[in-house]
Amino acid sequence: MYVKDRMSKNIVTVAKDVKISQVLDIFESNDFHRLPVVNEQGYLIGLITEGTIQSHTPSKATSLSIHELNYLLSKTTVESIMIKKVITIKPNCLLEEAAELMMNKDVSCLPVVDDDNRLLGIMTQKDVLASFVDLLGYHDVGSRIVIAIDQDKVGLLAEIASILAKENISISHLVVYRTDMVDVVIRVSDLDGQKVGKLLTEHGYQVVDILINKGNNN
């Protein structure tokens, strides 16, 4: 799955000459925490975030009154405090690359840009988590069966797929977790998870969990 398939494309942006007081209004009205800063041609030139604003706001220890603080924010422009060295990602990068970059750089969003640095979208932690949920098929109607494997081997997944295919059971999602053991998590559209679990058990597999989703997950 690529970044371009999961990024938010309807982006609200601001210009560099917008005042911080206006940015705060946008944040509050839309429940935003960050805004890309672009020039007139749509090229990314910075990023303004709640954290950036807070770090440039006088602390309570100062003698500034609320009136003075509001006046200061109404005169301060985005350009004067925005993040200028923005960590970005390209649209054809894999979703895993975006997640890894966010973790390594400790950022909560990645503006998505083309080779010329034109803003195309934005990838947030929420987008990554939503993609993860979709990849696992959490909201899909059907049954989730977890199989514990003592020893991994070549052809294991093909073998499981073949067993189910002979009973006309189609796998919609498949995930493999490797730790001390191998956990194979499969999702099928069949709502009779117990039947699927019994079938796999009869073929020597250790079924450790069965979850049936009838479409009530939110």
**Euclidean distance between CA atoms 201 and 26, whole angstroms:** 56
**Could you tell me the maximum CA-CA distance found in the chain, to the nearest angstrom?**
77
Residues 87 and 106 in one domain: yes
**E strands along 93-198, which residues?**
109-113, 119-124, 142-149, 171-178, 182-188
- Whether the per-residue pLDDT at 190 is higher than 60: the answer is yes
Establish if 218 belongs to a structural domain. no
Residue 172 has phi, psi (to 5 degrees) of -95, -35
Establish if 10 belongs to a structural domain. yes
- Whether the per-residue pLDDT at 80 is higher than 90: the answer is yes
- Whether the per-residue pLDDT at 132 is higher than 70: the answer is yes
Closest CA to 7 of 112, 94, 101, 99: 112
Average pLDDT estimate for 68-86: 88
Which of these three, 70, 102, 133, is where a domain ends?
133
Instruction: Give the per-residue pLDDT at 137.
Output: 87
Which of these three, 118, 133, 148, is where a domain ends?
133
Query: In this predicted model, what pLDDT tens digit does every residue of 18-74 receive, in sequence order?
Result: 999 999 999 999 999 999 999 999 999 999 999 999 888 766 556 667 677 777 778
Buried b (16+ CB within 10 A) or exposed e, 12-49: ebbebebebeebeeebeeeeeebbbbbeeeeebbbbbb
Residues 60 and 163 in one domain: no
**Euclidean distance between CA atoms 193 and 145, whole angstroms:** 7
Of 10-19, 51-60, 83-92, 170-179, the least confident: 51-60
Average pLDDT estimate for 149-163: 90
| pTM (whole model) above 0.75 | yes
Residues 94 and 194 in one domain: no
Residues 47 and 88 in one domain: yes
Q: What is the mean pLDDT of the chain?
A: 90
Establish if 115 belongs to a structural domain. yes
DSSP category for residue 218: -
Name the strand (E) or helix (H) holding 26: helix 20-30
Average pLDDT estimate for 192-202: 94
% pLDDT > 70, the chain: 94
CATH of residue 71's domain is 3.10.580.10
- Whether the per-residue pLDDT at 156 is higher than 60: the answer is yes
Residues 76 and 115 in one domain: yes
Amino acid letter for position 11: I
> Euclidean distance between the first and final Cα of the chain, in Å?
23
Residue 82 domain boundaries: 3-133
Buried b (16+ CB within 10 A) or exposed e, 59-84: eeeeeeeeeeeeeebeebebeebbee
- Sheet bearing 171-178, strands edge to edge: 171-178, 182-188, 142-149, 206-213
Name the strand (E) or helix (H) holding 35: strand 34-38
Residues 93 and 162 in one domain: no
